[in-house]
Amino acid sequence: MKITVLKIITLILLILSVGSIFIGYVSDFDDAEKLIGFGVIGLFIFVFPLFSYYRWKDRNVKDYMITKESLEKMRDYKEKKDA
């Protein structure tokens, strides 16, 4: 298993975001809600996009889009299966 820089950065940001949310919930000081907010923002603005890019960077998006050709393939497969 190859560990890349992007994977390490994503993991570090995930740990920091989840840690910030956890510390915000268990702590009892005035800025605890800000920690929770920064943790959530970190997840949605940094971690999720980096994770999505890392997982999808080598894939062809056309394979997952519904096009005329893919609909024809599905119809042919269904007709072949029903026959």
Q: Encode pLDDT of 17-37 as tens digits.
A: 999 999 999 998 899 999 999
Closest by Cα among 56, 46, 58, 35 to 10: 46
Band (pLDDT 50/70/90 cuts) for residue 83 is: low
Q: What is the model's pTM?
A: 0.70
Counted domains in the chain: 1
Write the DSSP symbol of residue 64: G
**Domain around 41:** 5-82
